[in-house]
Amino acid sequence: MELLFTPEFWSALLSIVVIDLVLAGDNAIVIGMAARNLPATQQKKAIIWGTVGAIVIRALATLAVVWLLKIPGLLLVGGLILVWISLKLLVQEDNHENMKASGSLGAAIWTIIVADTVMGLDNVIAVAGAAHGDFLLVIIGLVISVPIMVWGSTMILKVMERYPLVIYIGSAVLAYTASSMVTSEKFLAPFFAAYPWVKWLFIVAVVVGVLLTGRMKSQKQKRLAEQS
């Protein structure tokens, strides 16, 4: 129980909560589009059971990734993937136009589970990386993410659209998690332990680099959209 009161535990849990919040936007779109053709009485059931099914699969996937990240070299790979994910968060590409609404309750639930599983890979890698191999953190993070996904995802999407700063904060947390994963890699850790200033310089460089690159790409995307 002493683990619950360490600063490392709480900072990691906070990172997981922030990650769940900023990556919940796509889930809101998936859930809304899959259930929009259902009668009002069935929409809530589709949302709840579809999300529960997706959470179960995501829990198993996250626990599997936590275990896989213990294999030498995969923390580095996971960290690099997470850098790309943090950039992607700042440069949103809407690919939901092909998402079809389902006409039956069972089909809607299945659509939500499959789509969320496919789209939830970024969340799985991010949460697994932030947990630093702690399965308890993964479980607590997933318990927190259930109500976020079911009841709060639509609201979070609106907040992110109104206050873009929230997206930048989330991207910074993801970039920090990614760089921490890289510096924790077994064959790199001794070097960073010997030179702590290099470790923090690397982390700051990754976070600042992601934010600046993401902002520039986002602005370029907006200019191209305005010209077309």
From first CA to last CA, the distance across the chain in angstroms is: 58
Dump pLDDT digits (tens) for 114-164.
Answer: 766 666 666 777 777 887 777 777 777 777 766 666 666 556 656 766 777
Query: 122-149: b or e for each residue (b if 16 or more CB lie within 10 Å)?
Result: bbbbbbbbbbbebeebbebbbeebbebb
Dump pLDDT digits (tens) for 181-211.
Answer: 889 888 888 999 999 999 999 999 999 999 9
Question: Higher model confidence: residue 212 or residue 34?
Answer: 212
Dump pLDDT digits (tens) for 46-76.
Answer: 777 777 777 788 778 878 887 877 788 888 8
Kindly tell me if the per-residue pLDDT of 1 is higher than 80.
no
Average pLDDT over residues 92-111: 61
Interatomic CA distance for residues 183 and 55, integer angstroms: 29
Q: What tokens appear for 20 in the block?
A: 């769940």
Dump pLDDT digits (tens) for 11-42.
Answer: 888 888 777 777 666 666 666 666 666 777 77
Q: Evaluate whether 82 touches 125 at the Cβ level (below 8 Å).
A: yes
Indicate yes or no: pTM above 0.75. no
Kindly tell me if the per-residue pLDDT of 109 is higher than 60.
yes
Map tokens 């990386």 to a residue: 129
Kindly tell me if the per-residue pLDDT of 225 is higher than 80.
no
Q: Give residue 136's pLDDT.
A: 79
Kindly tell me if the per-residue pLDDT of 174 is higher than 60.
yes
Kindly tell me if the per-residue pLDDT of 80 is higher than 60.
yes
Question: Higher model confidence: residue 161 or residue 87?
Answer: 87
Q: Evaluate whether 203 touches 182 at the Cβ level (below 8 Å).
A: no
CA 109 to centroid of chain Cα atoms: 22
